[in-house]
Chains A and B, each alone.
Chain A
Amino acid sequence: MHKITFFPIGNADSYLIDLECGRKLLFDYANVHDPKNEDDKRIDLEAELRKNLDEADRNYLDAVAFTHLDKDHYHRSTEFFYLEHAKKYQDEHRIKIKELWVPAAVILEEALTGEAAVLRAEARYRLKNGSGIRVFSRPARLQSWLEGEGISIEDRRHLITDAGQIIPGYGLADDGIEFFVHSPFAITQEDGTSINRNEASLVLQATFNCEGELTYFLLTADTTHEIWKEIVNITKYHNNEERLKWHISKIPHHCSYLSLSSEKGMDVTKPIPEVQWLLDHGQDSGLLISPSKPIPQNDDDDQPPHRQAANCYRAVAAGNEGEFKVTMEHPSISRPEPLVIAIDSNGHTLIKKTVSAASIITSRITPRAG
């Protein structure tokens, strides 16, 4: 059985794939939980991941992908991971990364500060070193950056995967999973000096195999409707429609209407035709997961999640006997828990376990007793 776990961390992304073969892949990391705030329902991501790794008696993840360098995708990651480029990130409690996955933009982006700059330094170090990294897309500027470091792009070609390719090292037969790369594609990074991060982010389709039963999962980063338009058209152009099939889809950008259309709509966002096509490409019992705060009842907040977008996704779910789930609402707004999807020969199953009172009590600190 494979497992996908989405962590309830508010408007931030982090989800873990546990493969039946034992390999573990993490997509984005944002530990936004505030331990000082008793009302903060966002989970302590570091603790959750450590629990998972401890159970497997491990101190590493097989792959960690940063889909793009926005804070809600990397917050406090430099406190958690063992980074190879500098001693100060190397104490024994840190979690090691066997292979770091980044879009080329992470290497190339210039005006970065703080943790983003640290992650860039790590990616650059690994790429220069020639191991422990996979870079997605190969814009001309990557070549010139490498040449500036005295390395030819040919020497690093095995570490670079372009859109339209399968990620090496993972196979349907041996690992029960295959990743197809949709984005970034080279053209999105050729427009002048500045790089639009969302446009240059990592979008994948994962195909799980369990005894011949295939389950498709779209890993969508913060993709906007403009980029979806490009992805859908390119995919159709190459007759690769299969590669946009989904049983499970992460909803981009915390359920923002901008991933559907430029218009929010009154009560329901109407997606542009390409996005509508993509949503209609969902299979039976399609699961749409919004990694976000609970869906609001009104439009007071400009920031996502947007209730109009949520209504659009709900309609899609209703159409294929699927479900629309929000990480901070699962299983309840008052007590969100990690959202787990099991994948086996019965396809995918959204796990709906209830937790016993005793295990709730023993999994958290008790209130103060006087």
Chain B
Amino acid sequence: MLENFEANGDTIKTEELRVAKAVDLVATIGKIPYVRLVECKRVDEQSEVVVLEVEVELPRIKVYDIRRDERIAVCFDPTDSEQPEVLAVRRDFPEVPHLNLRLFEFPRSLCLFEEPYEEIKLRWTPTFLLNRIREWLALTAKGQLHQDDQPLEPLLGNPDGNIVLPDELFQPDGTKIHASYIAHRYGERNTLIVKGLTAESINDEPNDKLSSVLVLEGEPQQHGVISKNPRSIPALSSLVDKAGIHLLKELRNRCAALANNKPYSTVLNSYLIIVLILPKKRRADRQSEDTDTWVFLCPHTILEIGEKIGVWEVRNGEPGILLEYDINRGGEELNIALFKPHRAFSQEYASVLNGLPEPFINTQISLVGTGALGSQICVNLTKCGIGKWALFDYDILLPHNFARHALPYNDFLVGSKKVKALEIFVNNDISFKPIVNTFDIDVVRSHNSEDEVQKSFENADVILDCSTSIAVARYLALDVKTNARMISAFLNPVGSDLVVLIEDKNRETPLDLLEMQYYRHLINQPEYSNHLRRPNERVRYAIGCRDITSRIPQNSVAIHAGIGSRVFQNSLDNPDSKIGIWQINEQDLSVSCDLFPAPVLIAENVGEWKIRTDEALINKLLGERNEKLPSETGGVLVGSFDTSRKIVYMIDSLSSPPDSIEWPNLYIRGFKGLSEKLQIIQQITMNNLEYVGEWHSHPKGSDSRPSSTDWQASEMLSGIMNQDMLPSLMVIVGDKHELSFVLCEEDKVIVKTIFC
């Protein structure tokens, strides 16, 4: 036998070639190395074939038997509408990955390009083709051409249709495979969807839209099994024999079982779909690593099929089982069509498609607040396959919400609870299984009254606060008993900026402190002077005095919801606390990011009050004392009172006013410019930061205990603060990082000393 297949057609001289790409190819051969022309042919007075020999860059150690000199036939379509087919004409060219599936196995057809021919045409040159052929052969020789997730089998060019298969049919572990499946066809589409068989599914569907599905699993193969496109049941049967699948036997047994299992009329009138699960392994000595899945539709009813393969005779439309299978009937008349399998959409598949690790699927997320930002972040994350969710919101959907809410407008939704509407949308349209739980309550008012609510917070891995309410954030941070990490995301009033406050995994920087640190950042960075300003115009959507809503464009919310979801997702992998502010530049629409770490909480109980501050402020005070030594210095403390919880947040200090007296044994705080500064702070933070107390330093060699003058000063301060029913606070910084809090409320003075 000849070493090579003979190309079809009549041999012609090179100058007789007419197809432009063939002419170009021949002209190039001879000008570049590693390619030799063998001959040219013309088939049926139309298509032209250029046979050439290429020299392959071969390694010493080969995975596939590619030879240094390979003979290749390039077949050109005269109209250039089809990509030139490239055939390896050596008779024993091995079965390798990335071959095209043809009706005949030989000569093998190389699958050179992933893109459609129209795209490749744009940069087509003969050298481009030749280089790709040589590269394809060189990479194949090394076994490096295909990626691990690509099939071993030849590649499917034009399937007869598409079919969507459930997840389990793509897993190498077959234990989850259902006993029976049926395929549904919706409308006139050439796409089938396969689902596990249930009693309802078989009765609900009109017969002509149903197909019965036979799933067969082969033995693990190192090489492909489907080496050509089979067009009939016997042709397929002989191919899959290699993988230990006895197709006809399986079909006969299945038909016989069906006939014995009444009522079967629906099944007998359905078409047959054969799903082949072919486990593959990269090397002979390895376990199977993955599976290739192939699907064939046999457009004959089971009734016909059973007859054609010798299981029964059909009389009056009823099968009459033969005593023995008639093995002479091999189903030659039963043609089949090749369908391209697709994995059904699921949360698991979504996380694969989003490039995420699977454990995020089971992260328990409690989302508080399902308005515009909350709903959009929730949809973004569930579309990535992230999370099992508990949604908290007592609000209802009203027409004005739909401008920016994730849910599309629908009369049925108006007036319904936001959480319920979102639950139905996510469970039905994104995850296809219940991953969302809802609580239509006001979390602050419910105040742990419901066990279910408390349990949900306890079980959460993360609590995401999108409530845009300081009261809610404070409540979550301070009153909810949970180890769940908290993340708060909100927009500034005009919607140009997104703020995300992220607790660390151990909650050493809790959400309420993060809020204060965020305000501190605003007052110290000039670019945030207008960050919290209210929009000039707001829209009144009803007649109540609180029935106003902001004019924020949906595209800003979408940008921020995108960023917010990604920040949330990234934080699942990162244990640190952080504060981030993203600002959209209204001119060029670029987004700037200001992301900074948040120092841990320092909390002290002083009498009935709790002082909450952080290292950053304490270090600032220590630093200012050192700088001014041997003199004393001091200033005003900025923060916030939470009177309902008796908390003083101490977050920043204002430097000593210029008219202060700073002597080695005395500090008298001046007041020049002080009230203006405090006014600006209140403006920038929308009154969230204010005056909370005084501080001063003691000289070298002195501790931080209050001196007699300090006692007097404290009493004086207390007299004034008490008129607002607030305590007075004085902080004294002494040697050796010693710090005393002097808190005075209604003539009661309490001193607490700590070392930092």
Q: Which A residues fall within an 8 A CB radius of B?
A: 213, 215, 247, 283-285, 321, 323, 331-332, 344-354, 356-357
B189 on interface, CB distance cutoff 8 Å: no
- Cα-based distance from A321 to B66 in the complex (angstroms): 13
Q: Which residues of the partner chain B approach A285 to less than 8 Å between Cβ atoms?
A: 58, 60
Least CB distance, B63 to chain A, in whole angstroms: 8
In the bound complex, do residue B60 and residue A215 qualify as a contact, i.e. CB atoms below 8 Å apart? yes
Q: Are A349 and B32 in contact (CB under 8 A)?
A: no
A-B contact pairs, 30 of them (CB 8 A): A215-B60, A247-B60, A283-B60, A285-B58, A323-B68, A332-B33, A344-B59, A346-B59, A346-B60, A346-B61, A346-B62, A347-B59, A347-B60, A348-B59, A348-B60, A349-B58, A349-B60, A350-B57, A350-B58, A351-B57, A352-B33, A352-B34, A352-B56, A352-B57, A352-B134, A354-B32, A354-B34, A354-B127, A354-B131, A354-B134
Closest 9 CB pairs of A and B: A347-B60, A346-B59, A331-B33, A352-B57, A349-B59, A285-B60, A347-B61, A346-B61, A332-B33
Beyond A247-B60, A354-B127, is A346–B34 a contact (Cβ under 8 Å)?
Answer: no
Contact B127 A346 (CB under 8 A): no
Contact A352/B142 with A331-B33, A347-B61 known, Cβ cut-off 8 Å: no
Taking the closest CB of chain A, its distance from the CB of B691, in whole angstroms, is 59
Binary contact track B375-390/A, C-beta < 8 Å → 1, others 0? 0000000000000000
Q: Determine if B39 is an interface residue (Cβ-Cβ < 8 Å).
A: no
Most A CB contacts (10 A, CB to CB) among B56, B59, B134, B142 go to B59
Chain B interface residue count: which class? Answer: 10 to 19
CB neighbours of A284 from chain B (8 A): 60
A351→B58 CA distance, assembly (Å)? 8
Chain A minimum-CB-distance residue to B144: A346
* B638 CB → nearest A CB, Å: 53
Per-position contact with A for B472-483: 1 when CB-CB < 8 Å, else 0?
A: 000000000000
Asked if B130 is at the interface (CB within 8 A of a chain A CB), the reply is yes
Q: How distant is the Cα of A256 from the Cα of B134 in the complex, in angstroms?
A: 34
Cα A352 to Cα B61 with chains together (Å):
16
Which residues of chain B from 8 to 58 have a CB within 8 Å of any chain A CB? 32-34, 55-58
Residues of chain A contacted by B131 (CB below 8 angstroms)? 354
Given A213-B61, A285-B60: A352 in contact with B127 (beta carbons within 8 A): no
The number of residue pairs between A and B whose CB atoms lie closer than 8 Å in the complex comes to 47
Q: Are A346 and B57 in contact (CB under 8 A)?
A: no
Residue of B32, B56, B62, B130 most packed against chain A (CB within 10 A): B32
What's the minimum C-beta distance from B512 to chain A, rounded to whole angstroms?
53
Smallest Cβ-Cβ distance to A342: which chain B residue: B59
In the complex, what residues of B have CB within 8 A of residue A344's CB? 59
Q: Which residue of B lies closest to A353 (CB)?
A: B57
What residues on B are CB-neighbors of A321 within 8 Å? 68
Q: A352 and B55 in contact (CB under 8 A), knowing A331-B33, A346-B142? A: yes
Question: In the assembly, what is the distance between CA of A353 and CA of B55, in Å?
Answer: 11
CA distance A284 to B58 in the complex (A): 12
CB distance from A132 to the nearest CB of B (A): 36
Cα A68 to Cα B58 in complex, Å, equals: 34
Contact B33 A356 (CB under 8 A): no
Report how far A349 CA is from B62 CA in the complex, Å: 10
Min CB–CB distance B383 → chain A (angstroms) = 41
**Closest approach, in angstroms, between the C-beta of A326 and any C-beta of chain B?**
13
Complex: how many Å from CA A347 to CA B142?
Answer: 10
- Shortest CB distance B68–A (Å): 8
Looking at the assembled complex, report how far the CB atom of B131 sits from the nearest CB atom of chain A, in whole angstroms.
6
How long is the Cα–Cα vector from A345 to B59 in the complex, in angstroms? 9
Residues of A within 8 A of B134 (CB): 352, 354
Shortest distance from the beta carbon of A288 to any chain B beta carbon, whole Å: 14
Query: In the complex where A346-B61, A348-B59, A350-B57 touch, is A356 in contact with B142 (Cβ < 8 A)?
Result: no
Since A350-B57, A351-B57 are in contact, a sample of 17 more A-B pairs with Cβ atoms closer than 8 Å, ordered by chain A residue number, is: A215-B60, A283-B60, A323-B68, A345-B61, A346-B142, A347-B59, A348-B60, A349-B59, A349-B60, A352-B33, A352-B134, A354-B33, A354-B34, A354-B130, A354-B131, A354-B134, A356-B127
A331 touches B34 (CB 8 A): yes
Name the distance in Å between A300's Cβ and chain B's nearest Cβ: 27
Residue of B nearest to A286 (CB): B60
Residue of B nearest to A335 (CB): B33
- Chain A nearest CB: distance from B29 CB in Å? 12
Chain A hits for B34, CB < 8 A: 331, 352, 354
In the docked arrangement, what's the CA distance between A352 and B134, Å?
9
Which residues of chain B have C-beta atoms less than 8 A from A350's C-beta? 57-58
Which chain A residue lies CB-closest to B67?
A: A321
* Interfacial chain B residues near A346, Cβ < 8 Å: 59-62, 142
Residue of A nearest to B63 (CB): A346
Q: Which residues does chain B contribute within 8 Å of A345, judged by CB atoms?
A: 61
**Cα A247 to Cα B60 with chains together (Å):** 9
Minimum CB–CB distance from B36 to chain A (whole Å) comes to 12
Flag if B33 contacts A349 (CB, 8 Å). Answer: no
Partner of A349, one of B55, B57, B127: B57
Contacts of B61 in A (CB 8 A): 213, 345-347
Which residues of B sit under 8 angstroms from A352, Cβ to Cβ? Answer: 33-34, 55-57, 134
Q: Which residues of chain B have C-beta atoms less than 8 A from A351's C-beta? A: 57
Residues of A within 8 A of B62 (CB): 346
What's the nearest-Cβ distance from chain B to residue A327, in Å? 14
Q: Which residues of B contact A215 (CB under 8 A)?
A: 60
A347 to chain B, nearest CB (A): 3
**Binary contact track B112-135/A, C-beta < 8 Å → 1, others 0:** 000000000000000100110010
Across-interface contacts of A247 in B (CB, < 8 A): 60
Cβ of B68: which chain A residues have Cβ within 8 Å of it?
A: 321, 323
**Residues of chain A contacted by B33 (CB below 8 angstroms):** 331-332, 352, 354
Per-residue CB contact flags for chain B residues 566-597 toward chain A (1 = under 8 Å, else 0) read: 00000000000000000000000000000000
A259 to B142 CA separation, bound complex (whole angstroms)? 35
In chain B, residues 108-164, which have Cβ atoms closer than 8 Å to a Cβ of chain A?
127, 130-131, 134, 142
CA distance A370 to B60 in the complex (A): 50
Contact string against A for B residues 52-89, beta-carbon threshold 8 Å, 1 for contact and 0 otherwise: 00011111111000001000000000000000000000
A335: shortest Cβ distance to chain B, in Å? 8
Chain B residue with Cβ nearest A347: B60
* Chain B residue, CB-CB nearest to A344: B59
The distance from the CB of B132 to the nearest CB of chain A, in whole angstroms, is 11
Query: What's the minimum C-beta distance from B143 to chain A, rounded to whole angstroms?
Result: 9
Cβ–Cβ < 8 Å partners of B60 in chain A: 215, 247, 283-285, 346-349
Bound complex: CA of A331 vs CA of B31, how far in Å?
A: 11
Nearest CB of chain A from residue B282's CB, rounded to whole Å? 15
Closest residue on chain B to residue A332 by CB atoms? B33
Whole-angstrom CA separation of A346 from B58 in the bound complex = 9
Residues of A within 8 Å of B57, CB to CB, are: 349-353
Q: From residue B139, how far is it (CB to closest CB) to chain A in Å?
A: 11
Residue of A nearest to B58 (CB): A349
A213 to B62, CA, bound (A): 13
**Closest CB-CB distance, B602 to chain A, in whole Å?**
50
Q: Tell me, in angstroms, the Cα distance from A345 to B144 when the chains sit together.
A: 12
Contacts of A349 in B (CB 8 A): 57-60
- In this complex, which of B57, B59, B60, B127 has the most chain A Cβ atoms within 10 angstroms of its Cβ? B60
Output the least CB separation between B727 and chain A (Å): 66
**How near does chain A come to B379, taking the closest CB pair, in angstroms?**
47
Would you give the shortest CB distance from A192 to chain B, in whole angstroms?
45
Q: By CB atoms of chain B within 10 A, which of A213, A344, A346, A350 has the most? A: A346
CB-CB under 8 A from A332, the residues of chain B are 33
In the bound complex, residues from chain B placing their C-beta under 8 Å from that of A283 are 60
Which of chain A's residues have a CB closer than 8 A to the CB of B59?
344, 346-349
Q: Which residue of A lies closest to B143 (CB)?
A: A346
- Kindly report which residue of chain A lies nearest to residue B33, judged by CB atoms: A331
Chain B proximity of A332: nearest CB distance (Å): 5
A213 CA to B130 CA in the complex, in Å? 31
Q: How far is the CB of B125 from chain A (nearest CB, A)?
A: 9
Question: Which chain B residue shows the least CB distance to A215?
Answer: B60
> What CA separation (Å) do A61 and B142 show in the bound complex?
32
A213 to B59, CA, bound (A): 12
Which residues from B are CB-within-8-Å of A356?
127
